[in-house]
Chains A and B, each alone.
Chain A
Amino acid sequence: MKPAPALAEGFPDLSGMRIAREPHWFRWLSAALIVLVLAEIARAFAAGQIEWSYVSRFLTAKVILEGIVNTMVMAVLAMALGIFLGVVVAIMRLSPNPVLKTVAAGYTWLFRGTPLILQLLLWFNLALVFPTIGIPGLWSARAVDVMTPFLAALLGLGINQGAYTSEVMRAGMLSVDVGQYEAAQAIGMGRLRALRRIVLPQAMRVVIPPLGNEFIGMVKATSLASVIQYPELLHNAENIYYANSRVIELLIVAGLWYLLVVSILTPLQMLLERRFARGTLRLAR
């Protein structure tokens, strides 16, 4: 064997030398500045016209706790309705049937095109349009009795959410390779079975981050249902300050609860993402 050719001179041996830590002066300086500003804001609020004892007293008041429970019940139910509608409408939108396609596009257009608060008010005041509702000859009732704040909020929030979720689901389904549909067809699957068994499970991985976003939005959107007397968190907080005039204190109470709930939801989303990441390279090591 021939010896390797001699290496050129003038290139010193660097093995054994470490990369030095930089002092990062600017980071320290900017962090110190931010801490100062935050401390000043905290001091201002502490000295301002806020009775903090009211905040701590009402933070765990029964009415507030009932409010947060109602908020979460509504957020979960409305989101469930929204996801159900979203999946159905996304499938309709991607179907070859022009009637289904048009209906789906029209639904999305209508409910994305009007403000949510307006939709809630419309549902709640449905009795003005239809004094009685029901199935002719079978069942009927006065609309004011049926359209409770709960039902009006559920329909308003859920149907509106469905319009947004359908676009999220459609994006997820489009992200799945066409070859997956073809492979499913090649083993004899019909369109719906291929969607349910092959396409949707893969789409889930893509849609969970935006759906988590949407759900966080939903938790806060339930506060709009306060205008139709649904006893959610903000509505109950308002009722208290109408009585005791502690407006800012109760708004802070409500704000703290929303922050807490959203803080808990973020790690839950991580768990869900991990569940649907089966078989992807990042998890497969």
Chain B
Amino acid sequence: MTKPLVAIRSVSKSFGEFQALKNVSLDIRPGEVMCLIGASGSGKTTLLRCINQLAAIDSGGIWLDGELLGVREQGGRLHRLSEREIGRQRLKTGMVFQRFNLFPHKTALENITEGPLQVQGRKPDEVRAEAVELLRRVGLSAKADSYPAQLSGGQQQRVAIARALAMKPMLMLFDEPTSALDPELVGEVLAVMKELARSGMTMVVVTHELGFAREVADRVVYMDQGAIVEQGRASDVLGTPREERTKAFLSAVI
């Protein structure tokens, strides 16, 4: 069996009284496209944010590319890593947000080059050329000098995907990437994601787009109340679910 790119073991996370994740364990293999589905409040977005350390886990452990995230084990105790070290670990993952979160004071091209230039300190010429290529890949070559406010939601989300890819991550995380879009703009973003999946990128996608999950996902994970209820091939989980809760969710969604 291949070594997982992400290993999640017994992860729990609470927000005050509310337990968002209950003892979740999961492996994500290199090149795999995994869709996380479930009702709001089921913990799927929290799980994604924990992988990217935008939320710190309370207990358990997450390993990315063999490296324990967020903490160091020393003398039988766990010590929190410094902000700098966490920043370095984050470079291995790219994150795409539900509400795009493009930097409004920077053009599309500047949004993409910001990380490679400022954080990775790479050469401007090289970074710029790559950014132009990324814009071409998401079909927005003509929009390099546009500000986010001048772009449609679908265009903004495609720039956001390019911005995440510019850091050359090993893993791409998508947090409901099409939920904030007008229906007619969803397709263009999904098309970019499908192309990315075909290119072999490891992807974890929190989504309500069951059509996308059925078509692209190698594995679908259904979560409810902070726990994984059912997982497997997309056709199995979505087509012939075994668990009652999965059946109830799917019939409510479709």
Contact = CB atoms under 8 A, between A and B. Distances in A.
Nearest to A182: B54
Contacts of B106: 279
Contacts of B90: 185-188
A201 interface: yes
Given A187-B167, A193-B119, A198 B97 contact: no
Interface string A243-276: 0000000000000000000000000000000000
B198 to A, nearest CB: 24
B88 A188 contact: yes
A284 interface: yes
A186 B119 contact: no
A269 to B, nearest CB: 19
B84 A202 contact: no
Nearest to B167: A187
B95 A190 contact: no
B164 A186 contact: yes
B148 A189 contact: no
B103 A180 contact: yes
Interface string A157-201: 000000000000000000001011011111111110100011001
B61 to A, nearest CB: 21
Interface string B115-142: 1001110000000000000000000000
A201 B149 CA distance: 16
A193 B94 contact: no
Given A185-B90, A284-B147, A278 B95 contact: no
B64 to A, nearest CB: 14
B105 A188 contact: no
Contacts of B52: 186
A284 B107 CA distance: 11
Contacts of A184: 103
Contact of A284 (B91, B118, B150, B167): B150
Judged by DSSP, the binding face of A is: helix
Contacts of B163: 187
Contacts of A185: 54, 87, 90
Contacts of B88: 188
A52 B99 CA distance: 64
Given A279-B104, A279-B106, A186 B148 contact: no
Nearest to B102: A183
A280 interface: yes
Interface of B: 52, 54, 83-84, 87-88, 90-91, 93-95, 97, 99, 101-107, 114-115, 118-120, 147-150, 160, 163-164, 167
23 contacts: A177-B101, A179-B97, A179-B99, A182-B101, A183-B101, A183-B160, A185-B54, A185-B87, A186-B95, A186-B164, A187-B90, A187-B119, A187-B167, A188-B115, A188-B119, A188-B167, A190-B84, A197-B114, A197-B118, A198-B103, A279-B105, A281-B149, A284-B147
